[in-house]
Amino acid sequence: MIQVSIVEDNDAIRNGLAMLINATADMECISTYTDCETCIGDLPDHGPDVILMDIGLPGMSGIEGVREIKKDFPDIHILMLTVYEENDKIFDALCAGATGYLVKKTPAEQLIQAIQDVVHGGSPMSSHIARKVVAFFQKQPPKAMEEHHLSSREMDILTSLANGNSYKLIADDLTISIDTVRFHIRNIYKKLQVNSQTEAISKAFRDGLIK
Amino acid sequence: MIQVSIVEDNDAIRNGLAMLINATADMECISTYTDCETCIGDLPDHGPDVILMDIGLPGMSGIEGVREIKKDFPDIHILMLTVYEENDKIFDALCAGATGYLVKKTPAEQLIQAIQDVVHGGSPMSSHIARKVVAFFQKQPPKAMEEHHLSSREMDILTSLANGNSYKLIADDLTISIDTVRFHIRNIYKKLQVNSQTEAISKAFRDGLIK
DNA sequence: CGGTCAACCGCATGATGATGCGGGTGATAT
DNA sequence: ATATCACCCGCATCATCATGCGGTTGACCG
């Protein structure tokens, strides 16, 4: 029996969801809340397996609620159920610890399916949400190493620099002279359009040149 | 009519998939390949809407194939269909441009559903795959600011430092004296266990103190 | 009320870095 | 065969940083 709680301030939606869940075999809605705060207060007494969580709530937002709940009850799966489709909300919710993310227009049967999915190790997402999540990975390397056309030697030096080595140490590591290290670093600066180690390292990290 | 191509070296699987697709209304398999190279060669002539792509292929890997295809035909949706569930493969495939990621044991009807989903703006993923993708977002801050207990002032300085500002600039920005900047930086170094700007910035990035 | 702590300020010294200039080699491309 | 480019080396100079020491203030806590 999957035990579900609901956090949703709209009465009609909340009650509708509760009825839907109670009408499903092997699933029951053990509690409903109109805000995160009271939900969190109840958790020590009766913790559900899954929480359906709205985002736009009075008081603490659903995303903040996820963070709080996950901190103390990491085993509870939280399924965001919201009208928001902005990237910020999606990623914030997932980073906060939400296991899935559904838009409110999701049909009843898919919602039930999602709840089952989440307890069986899945992460249900509405299709357009999933697409945005996937898109996140694809726009990651806007400027890769090739864009900055750093030579392999320059990458050596940059990497060593990022590890906190001084010019002297880098020179010893690569068995070249310290002046050569200077030479390469000058070129790196030109290519990255910076003029200090700190800037170079920052840029390298942000552009994914270094991990 | 959704036009589908298949790249899969296993004869039984490839033929099975083709039959399944051709048996579905509004869907046809227009070509099948046992390797990426010939598929890519064919694309200029007959480009499908969706490609089902295996990863473990003779010659060019499916992931490399995705990269190549997406470079020249960004509108073709590629659905990975593979046995691999390792994080590396998943993320590499998505970064390369795959729109969805299914494991091979996916039942026929879900596979058909996934193909339809992908042309309608979704990103179908097997449930365990989706969970891994979501988990990616959640394990981001292994050591957050709290772990290093940097004060908010120290964070100001660290951030400014990462933006390539010199002590003097930081001092002006925060309207404090340059000696105070030094003071804070000394403390930052102690807390991060480093002793140079470069190391501090590297550590800050790697620990997610700075984005 | 004394203790602790974050935040602030100052000075001094040696080390390191940034940048300008000069030069050399070998491999690849035109 | 000459150009280009990555890579290598050297010197000089000024700016910046790392680190040691000292101090003040105001907030919070037992």
Domain assignment of residue B170, yes or no = yes
Q: Tokens standing for B111?
A: 């596979």
Q: Which of residues 138-197 of B touch strand C (CB under 7 A)?
A: 151-154, 174, 176-177, 179-180, 182-184, 196
The burial of A149, by beta-carbon neighbours within 10 Å (0-12 exposed, 13-18 middle, 19 or more buried), is given as exposed
A145 pLDDT more than 50: no
Which among A80, A198, A206 is the top mutation candidate for probing chain B, defined by the most B β-carbons within 10 Å of its own β-carbon? A198
A141 pLDDT more than 90: no
Domain boundary residue among B86, B110, B129? Answer: B129
Q: B123 to chain A, minimum CA–CA distance in Å?
A: 5
Domain assignment of residue A108, yes or no = yes
Is B146 found in the same domain as B86? no
* pLDDT (tens digit per residue) in A195-204: 999 999 998 8
Q: How many CB atoms lie within 10 A of CB B33?
A: 22
Contact B128 A141 (CB under 8 A): no
* pLDDT (tens digit per residue) in A86-135: 988 998 899 899 999 999 999 999 999 999 999 999 999 999 999 999 99
CATH number at residue B72: 3.40.50.2300
A142 pLDDT more than 60: no
Domain boundary residue among B109, B129, B149? Answer: B129
Length, in residues, of chain A: 211
* pLDDT (tens digit per residue) in A7-36: 999 999 999 999 999 999 999 999 999 999
Three-class secondary structure assignment of A15-62: HHHHHHHHCCCCEEEEEEECCHHHHHHHCCCCCCCEEEECCCCCCCCH
Domain assignment of residue A88, yes or no = yes
Q: Mapping DSSP to helix (H, G, I), strand (E, B) and coil, where does residue B61 land?
A: coil
Number of domains in chain B: 2
Is B72 found in the same domain as B148? no
CA(B210)–C1'(C17) in Å? 24
CATH number at residue B185: 1.10.10.10
Is B152 found in the same domain as B81? no
Domain assignment of residue A134, yes or no = no
Is B105 found in the same domain as B63? yes
Domain assignment of residue B135, yes or no = no
Domain assignment of residue A135, yes or no = no
Q: What type of residue sits at position A206? A: R
Domain boundary residue among A66, A94, A129? Answer: A129
Residue A69: per-residue pLDDT: 93
Contacts of A131 in chain B (CB under 8 A): 99, 121-123
Structural domain of A170: 140-207
B38 touches strand C (CB under 7 A): no
Is B124 found in the same domain as B70? yes
* Full pLDDT tens readout for chain B, 211 residues: 999 999 999 999 999 999 999 999 999 999 999 999 999 999 998 889 999 999 999 999 999 999 989 988 999 999 999 999 998 899 889 989 999 999 999 999 999 999 999 999 999 999 999 999 999 888 755 445 456 677 888 888 898 899 889 999 989 888 899 999 999 899 888 888 899 999 999 988 888 788 7
Residue A147: per-residue pLDDT: 60
What are phi and psi for residue A170, nearest 5 degrees? -60, -45
Is A38 found in the same domain as A100? yes
Query: CB under 8 Å to A118, separation ≥6 — which residues?
Result: A50, A77, A79, A99, A100, A124
Residue A94: per-residue pLDDT: 93
Domain assignment of residue B18, yes or no = yes
Is A82 found in the same domain as A20? yes
Is B183 found in the same domain as B97? no
Domain assignment of residue B134, yes or no = no
Q: Which of residues 112-171 of A touch strand C (CB under 7 A)?
A: 166-168
Is A106 found in the same domain as A6? yes
Residue B137: per-residue pLDDT: 81
Q: Tokens standing for B84?
A: 């691999």
Sheet of strand A2-7, all strands in order from the earlier edge strand to the far edge: A27-33, A2-7, A50-53, A77-82, A100-103
Is B97 found in the same domain as B28? yes
A-B Cβ pairs (cutoff 8 Å, strict): 102
Is A154 found in the same domain as A123? no
* pLDDT (tens digit per residue) in A49-91: 999 999 999 999 999 999 989 988 999 999 999 999 998 899 8
A161 closest CB neighbour out of B97, B131, B198 = B198
Classify residue B102 by its DSSP letter. Answer: E
Does this model's pTM top 0.85? My answer is no
Nucleotides on strand C with an atom closer than 7 A to protein CB?
6-12, 16-22
Residue B153: per-residue pLDDT: 85
Is B73 found in the same domain as B160? no
